[in-house]
Structure 1
Amino acid sequence: MECCRRATPGTPLLFLAFLLLSSRTTRSEEDRDSLWDAWGSWSECSRTCGGGASYSLRRCLSSKSCEGRNIRYRTCSNVDCPPEAGDFRAQQCSAHNDVKHHGEFYEWLPVSNDPDNPCSLKCQAKGTDLVVELAPKVLDGTRCYTDTLDMCINGLCQIVGCDHQLGSIAKEDNCGVCNGDGSTCRLVRGHYKSQLSATKLDDTVVAIPYGSRHIHLTLKGPDHLYLETKTLQGAKGENSLNSPGIFLVENSSVEFQKYPGKENLSIAGPLTADFIVKIHNSGPANSTVQFTFYQPIIHRWRETDFFPCSATCGGGYQLTSAECYDLRSNRVVADQYCHYYPENIKPKPKLQECNLDPCPASGGYKQIMPYDLYHPLPRWEATPWTACSSSCGGGIQSRAVSCVEEDIQGHVTSVEEWKCLYTPKMPIVQPCNIFDCPKWLAQEWSPCTVTCGQGLRYRVVLCINPRGMHTGGCSSKTKPHIKEECIIPTPCYKPKEKVPVEARAPWYKQAQELEEGAAVSEEPSYTMLPTLGVGEG
């Protein structure tokens, strides 16, 4: 090579230096100016899944120090690990199980989310309170915290965005979409109060659908929460949550905490099955459950392909449309499922020219009119839905659907149905108001309004929907009464006023007619009087 030939006498040293530098063609102008060598190739990834780190090195060509760093990192293997792979930090702790600590063998469990030094390997001996730092640094690619993508690299916690780029500030929205706007899910918030008894030991708190995220439930009271699951394939399961801890239920990590008179249930999600949270009667008092989660919008508009051309030759047009698509079953459903979500905006049709070749009989091209004057394709047209046959609990509603055609003047006429069969006919009957009806819920009775004899007692009666929220819609005919009479068995007594001994019943009238100097009894006497109820004369 030219750069390697021996210098002949008289060859300027500056020229040799130029040959040496010019041979490093892989270095950028910035590298040459800073006297850094070119970056080397990337190392193997520190992990095969779950997000790891890879590095690249360069060397300083100057006899003095160079500005900048000689190592750079990037993320790699950003694919989910299979559930059986386990936690990466836990694997590093368990690697010390066969190494004695102070003369003893221990089974080591990971200590995560250390606020002071999240990138040291701290482990706890199983069944003890012993916590030991088994290594000053975890392996590159270990998550700093369990609820973020930030990873430890060379003992330091590095920010990682949801786009898996180091230093990125990209965040997932509550729906799990990186840099999303939250429009693909909705917040569900509710309250449940148990009404269990000796004959009804279990009840459903809430059904949380597949794909939901950020699930939090708090139970207050003596009862106990447990889970039932159902996969998309129909397989059912149950987890009784007998003890606190972190469990894997249908590949979803479930954290369960139990305290005296309180239970917490948290699932980050997304759920890989439908979860039904249930409650079991464990005490004489009622319990309350508050819950929140983000439910995915599973019905979304999807743009169709272009419909058949309006003409077979000589120039025509064709349109697209939009159909409502069920993301779970991967099939097209009725439009009203998409209309249920205000976040869903139906895309507008697109139009393009088609079949521009001349018709053989015409001998030439027909004139192509502007697209807004084209003769529109026949289409299905429907009347509004009738009122639902039931306000709740499931009903049906119907409508008329016919095939119509519109001319260029905008006049619409009915035509044969076969002209519209290039697109499925809209349904003429559909279920409606399939949610459960609200029910009256009566609270405890108040104390009696009197302390003796006959009075009244009251209670609050609320109309509660299936989510446990106070609402309207209950039938007034079935509303429990809010007041009733009550009798206190204690007799009521009232002291007599000092009246003349000659007085006779009614004592108060006769007393007014007596003279002021009449003799009266000095000793008080008592007589039983009837006690009137509230609202009576």
Structure 2
Amino acid sequence: MGRFYQWEPFRDVRGAQRCELNCRPIGYRFYVRHTEKVQDGTPCEAGSPDICVAGQCLMPGCDGILGSNHTLDSCGVCGGDHTSCKLVVGNFSDTDVPIGYHRILEIPAGATHIQVKEMTRSPNYLALRSRSGKSIINGNWAVNPPGRYEAAGTIFVYSRPESDRHKGESLTAEGPTTEPIDVYMIFQQDNPGVSYQFFMALARPESSAADIHNPRQEFGALALVSAGHPMEPSAPHVHPGLLQTQNLVPAQPPIPSGQSRRSHPVVPPPVSSSQSGRSPGTLQRNVRVPPLPPPPPPPQHSSDVARDFYWQRVGNTECSATCGKGSWQSVYRCASRALQEEVGEEMCHLLPKPAVSEEPCNTEPCPAYWDVDKWSACSKSCGLGSQHRQVLCRQVYANRSTMVHPQRCEQLEKPNATQACQVQVCSHWEVQTNWSSCSVLCGLGHRTRHVRCVSNEGHPLRDSDCPGNHRPKTSEMCDMGPCVRAWFYSDWSSTCSAECGPGIQRRAVVCLSSSASEPTGENCAGTKPADMRACNGGPCQPVTRWYSGPWNPCSAECGTGTQRRDVVCITKLGSDFNVTDASECSYREKPPSLQTCTGSDCEARWFSTAWSPCSRTCVGGTQTREVQCLTQNKTLSRLCPPELKPAKKRPCNNQPCNADLDENCRDKYHNCPVIVQARLCVYSYYKAICCASCTHALERRHSGPSR
């Protein structure tokens, strides 16, 4: 072609081109067909058991012989009848599984047709590890891509569906495995359930030498080795045109029915009568099928079995899909020709069982449906925003979901594609204090609390920055009940006064008046409720334990110090305590007798003066006092908590004033204030001539400043 090329095989071809010799120059994108037929026995494509013969791609049976049509049964036995193995089925459904790697299944050596599947999709991952500890799939906290992985003498296919949101991960392998292998799961969330199944060979008695077929007993048959197995060195080189006249012996003998070889049978096309001649390029298809092992006694000939029994198609398996095109397989049972009814399959063991065919079923399309995606993130991090999702009309056919025109879903209610959202409000009202006590002891009063507007980070804001209609109430009415005197009592103490033996339970009983001006008394109506009752803690048993005394004051008034307490071992029997040796309490943990402490005078505190006299003797007045924040050194400070600041003003003398004085009670002496200051009103003479002044002075002394 005018230049020198370095050639390499070009295998990216399909169909009949697979048995052509195509080559591509290294570093270039074109390829050239050098010959129409590759050498006989060349694999049709990499990794395939199919081989090229006379330019055609043919598949040998599982015994390596073209035309034998032998297939592997579910046990992996070439030409077997599915009776030499057992099906192992189970599932791993534990929910209490820790996060990380967890072994869920051990696949023994010799397992075939292995399937491990998640029941539903999850964020967990399947993993594979050899018994020697070598990671094969998803090891060392690294997730491998889906694909084919070689291990234990077979190929494991790791699948992680991306299109189907409900289908989980899976591991499949044809087997047989040559060594045990462990299946793990990397758990990140709850276990959705993992199902598994595989076939295991049953134990067989040792066969006699007479039961083993001689692989060299071939007569006039053409046998070619399967892909990947070269001819024996003793075999002569055969030209493709002379294949029909040679009796070739395979490099490997046909595999007895008790063994297996991983291949997939394909029946080659029949040879027409016009091709039965010995012209070059034709393939003689007189291929002998190796005989099956002898059937169990009593011995029979296949012709006798065929006369009395036959394989009858009795129906199909359940369709794999209810709609959208599924598939089912034909089901055959052994039947008696004479009785025209089913019999045990062992009666047809000498007859070749018809190949199971797969046929389409339920081909009508599935109804269209609305497929919704996940909601997008909210458009705003705080406050009202919106979020969106994709809504598509889809339809399933042949196990594939396809997007279709929305008109096919018009009979269904379409889900919303947009909705309002709010991650959080940007500001909110914060209640700083609890409700205060009611302003009265009885009757109707009011109580208050402090409320402020803050941001989501807790910073104070103006009241206008928070929604006004959501502001909590800062004051409300409170009802303390009718103003009457009655007995009040607390609950009984929760424990008996004695841990064992007789004791008493107590409660507080007081006579209270609804009026704040009346003190506690005993003149309530009715009998006073009992304030104690008997109790029993059961029989006393001697108990030995550590006794801890009270902590001493902190050694530092401010800052970090220490404080101590006494810890002694005591023996208690009922209410009697006896100090005993510390070794008697050694089985109990001894409480600490020393601990660190912090002085209570380190922080600034509020100080206040005494209340001033009430500004009025009746009809309500006020009292005031000074309040200052002082440090431990008694200097002014601004570090005191503002919410703990004592009140500087309070109401006083809310009682009504007495009625006006009698018109005859007047001052008859112009200097009566001097009489009052000299405290002469105690004398009847001065009390008579200064009646008004003495009466007012007496009222002031009785009312006094409000406490």
TM-score, normalised to structure 1, is 0.31
